[in-house]
Structure 1
Amino acid sequence: MNEIPGPIAPPARLLMGPGPISAYPSVLTAMSAALVGQYDPFMTATMTETQELYRRVWGTSNDATVLIDGTSRAGIEAAMISLIRPGDRVLVPVFGRFGHLLAEIAERAMAEVHTIEVPWGQVFPVSAIEQAILAVKPQLLGLVQGDTSTTMLQPLDEVGALCAKHGVLFYSDATASLGGNPFEADAWGLDAATAGLQKCLGGPSGSAPITLSERAVELIRSRKKIEAGIREEGDEDAADFIRSNYFDLGMILDYWGPRRLNHHTEATSMLYGARECARLLLLEGRDEVIARHRLHGAAMLAGVQGLGLTVFGDLAHKMTNVVAVEIPEGVPGDAARTAMLTDFGIEIGTSFGPLHGRVWRIGTMGYNARTDAVLQTLAALETVLRRFCAPVAANGGVDAAQGIYASAGR
């Protein structure tokens, strides 16, 4: 007979890759809290409370600020499939893997998708985005803020006004950046934005915060509805149905709104975890959390440079929370990552596409944006690099990082 496995017992890990990262302990504690019924007053009050917390996280007054049950990709798909009508022109500026993802999801929503690209490691000047808007005349612009595949942070602060000027809906995926880099949904003119918990927000993957402007909600509400799952064959307006039940934002907003119309069973434990992620961020302070990510990101950057590693990409537009470093010649990238994991319990990331096998990605985000995590990672990385005969300065990484901390009065 097959034996029944024992209780789950994950090994101790320090997750210093591009995400997921080690969650805040209190987030894991919150997720173990007792379940209640879906319409228990405590449950509905917690949903309302979580909405208000995330309005503050996003920097918005949008009523339509909720959670999508699913990973960050669920949030992306909910936004795009609900905002895009078949045949709509959608413009996606691509500067990394996740721009390609937005374009793919827009295609699946039956949009006419147009892309512009810059080499990985760069971002778009606003003038290039405006030029593309004038040429394409899109209904929607889909733009990643922070792309962990390249570690670049696309400036958004002027894009909203540009979209408003040309009558374009503005959507951004902030999965990798929200919480560790500035994001101002209202001030920057966002119509829709989505994220996930597993990066700077310091939680597990499985819940996707989303916020929608009044204009976006009006568009979603204007889409055709399927009553009791029935519509007549040959309906000339069939193209206007949102082609998903689970990701139909009109239905999800009704569920989270004052009427609490049944749509799905809310993922209660994930709700608790998402609430705690937002509570911790606001308790520390939005600006203070961004400053913490900036400090520890700068220490990690100085540290890998102190080890003699070459940093990939335009450093003027790097996210605070992740750095990509060129794998030294002669060092087997995957074997070195394995040694970091097996010998030190530290995970760093590989990369995708044109950067696969060329760079490692090292994150300092959420709970792991702290001094001991940075120094442990740099010390372990130095040991592993020496094992593979890479020329590194003794204590070069730790000393350089400590120099950043000293200059900050730490």
Structure 2
Amino acid sequence: MAKFPALPATVDRYVREFLNRLAGRSGNAGDRAVLHSELAELGLAKEKGQRLSLPASAVGSITDTLEPVQSIVTVTGDGGGTTAPDAPTPAAGLSSNGIFGAVILEWDAPAYNGHNHTEVWRAQVDDRAQASLVHETNGSRYTDVTGNTTLHYYWVRHVNSAGQVGGFNALAGTAGQGTAIISLADLMLESPELSEQPFSVRNIGTEGSPDYVLVFNGYLAVNGPVNISQLQSGELQNGTALTVGQGSIELSTGSDGFGQMVITGSGGIATNDYLVLKEGRIESYIYTASSGHVRYKEVRRTESGIGRHNQSVVIPAYFKSQPTINLYPRDITVYNADYPDQSQRLELYHSTPMPHGAIEGAWVFKPYARLLAGGWQQDGGQERPLPGGQQYHHLYQRRWIR
């Protein structure tokens, strides 16, 4: 039996005792498991067929997978002995079946005593002299995975336990060619770890006009680039990204978990300016070698219009949060040409924007304006300063207010 590794301390006590007994580390002398390959090496048994993986169900008896090697025993006066195996008979019944990227070869099981294995030879031309040995098997079946649709020619011959080689199955080769079309039967996978097949075929059309598609039932891990000609629907998990155009466009999730689109130059955002679209907002970042990426600005929606002093102004329902109001004067004329040395200052301010009571999503506010002036004023033929040296004038009125 192959060397059994030491068991970790976390293994259950009963499991440990069972495995140590199989490995011959405990129990009575000679209590040790024997592998199929060890029996075959000793020439005591041979496997039935060729199994690419473990059986899906439990094996009821060792004879389900092994058969004894038939040897001829003669009895002599000194107690007996074993004669040499039979000469191998020529192989027969070779056939081929092409599947996706591979060729399945089968032949008749040998009927002579002392058989050890069968050789599989292959060439790209129908000339046995140019063929080369590609496999040795103790069964009567072999799958040659070519990975392509190239036409090959095959021959087989038997070898007994003494190393004696028999004749080839025929002078002409048996043609075999892998296909480029996957049949549903080729997608059936045999593994003890599979609870269900990973592939299925589904009709997404109607019974009268069927449209069959292949469905992959499981998780897909791809090592390398993926070319998607048409993606009808799909979803990227958090922490994954889909890049387009040398990394200039990226669909991914930000550190906050929200989906985003990043648009930048060739090679990604490492040393480029970039734009981010996320949660309905657009943000831009500028790259400098000294500071790295610095947020430049956030693009926002703007609305403009003309309002009068103390007028209720309604902002359309485009803003999800409280908007920012900026007021600018429409027109400023000379306050009083008779007093050019008089200082003037226009003050603009507004009330706090509040949600509109009747229009959902709209906002309302009131703008205010006043002109602040300072200096001297002619009053009754005499000049005197205004109280505090200032006087106020509301734009929508034409009177002084002290």
| TM-score of the superposed pair, with normalisation by structure 1 | 0.18
Q: Which has the higher contact order (CA 8 A, sep 6+)?
A: 1
The structure that is strand-richer by fraction is: 2
The structure that is helix-richer by fraction is: 1
Greater Cα radius of gyration, structure 1 or 2:
2
